């Protein structure tokens, strides 16, 4: 099932989907990095996390499909959808992980 977010359609952010994301360290590292640094280029993300371009693109694509990441075009970078990321933070808090 999909939801509309800022003009795009994103996968519904269910508790199961959130659980899947928080159990993937690279995806959480991407979200944490962008949360701390602000909008980042793809190059900044893969350099900071020391991951390959294909792996980085795969993780970013999956996060975009959930609506947690948004791609800006000017300048070209990725940013967190704060409203949707709040659901992840609430999930972590409910599990005593944050």
Interval 24-59: pLDDT, tens = 999 999 999 999 999 999 999 999 999 999 999 999
CA–CA distances in Å: residue 54 to residues 1, 14, 59, 74, 75: 27, 26, 9, 23, 22
Mean predicted confidence (pLDDT) in 76-93? 92
pLDDT of residue 7: 47
Report residue 2's pLDDT band, with 50, 70 and 90 as the boundaries.
very low
- For residue 67, give the nearest of 55, 87, 81 by alpha carbon: 81
pLDDT of residue 10: 65
User: What CA–CA distance (Å, rounded) separates 78 from 40?
Assistant: 5
pLDDT of residue 12: 79
What count of residues does the chain have? 98
User: All domains of the chain, ordered by start, with CATH?
Assistant: 8-91 (1.10.10.10)
Percent of the chain whose pLDDT exceeds 90: 70
Q: The whole model's pTM is what? A: 0.86
């Amino acid at each position: 099932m999909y939801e509309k977010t800022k003009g795009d359609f994103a996968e519904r952010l269910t508790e199961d989907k959130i659980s899947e994301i928080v159990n993937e360290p690279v995806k959480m590292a991407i979200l944490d990095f962008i949360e701390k640094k602000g909008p980042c280029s793809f190059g900044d993300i893969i350099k900071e996390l020391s991951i390959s371009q294909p792996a980085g693109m795969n993780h970013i694509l999956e996060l975009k499909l959930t609506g947690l990441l948004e791609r800006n075009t000017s300048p070209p970078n990725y940013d967190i959808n704060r409203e949707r990321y709040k659901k992840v933070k609430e999930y972590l808090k409910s599990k005593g992980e944050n």
